[in-house]
């Protein structure tokens, strides 16, 4: 028995992780990223769509696993609290990009 797909995966709206053979699924196109990512985590729900597009083009590239890594770095970013930012912006994203592996 397999696991049930999440709603975005069931609708083919995200890229699942690479299979054990090393192949990957195609990346989600930018229009789908703008639909799905704000629903993925509250930090993206309030983000400017231009900043979501910026993050996708510079780091995530339509890959859901990359979005999860970026979200983990961004949502725990000390810069967000330290600077009093209410939401993600390109300066914070650049900081997060520098900490991705």
Distance CA 63, CA 26 (A): 8
Instruction: Specify the pLDDT at position 65.
Output: 94
Strand, helix or coil at 41? coil
pLDDT at 45 over 50: yes
| pLDDT above 70: percentage of residues in the chain | 71
The dihedral sign for the CA sequence 61, 65, 67, 70: negative
Distance CA 58, CA 70 (A): 11
Q: Mean pLDDT, to the nearest integer, of 78-85?
A: 74
């Amino acid at each position: 028995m397999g696991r049930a797909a999440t709603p975005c995966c069931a609708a083919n709206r995200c890229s699942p992780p690479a299979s054990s053979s090393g192949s990957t699924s195609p990346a989600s196109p930018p229009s789908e990223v703008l639909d799905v990512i704000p629903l993925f985590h509250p930090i993206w729900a309030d983000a400017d769509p231009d900043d979501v597009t910026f993050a996708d083009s510079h780091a995530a590239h339509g890959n859901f696993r990359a979005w999860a890594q970026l979200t983990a770095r961004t949502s725990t970013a000390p810069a967000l609290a330290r600077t009093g930012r209410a939401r993600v912006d390109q300066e914070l994203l650049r900081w997060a990009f520098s900490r991705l592996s």
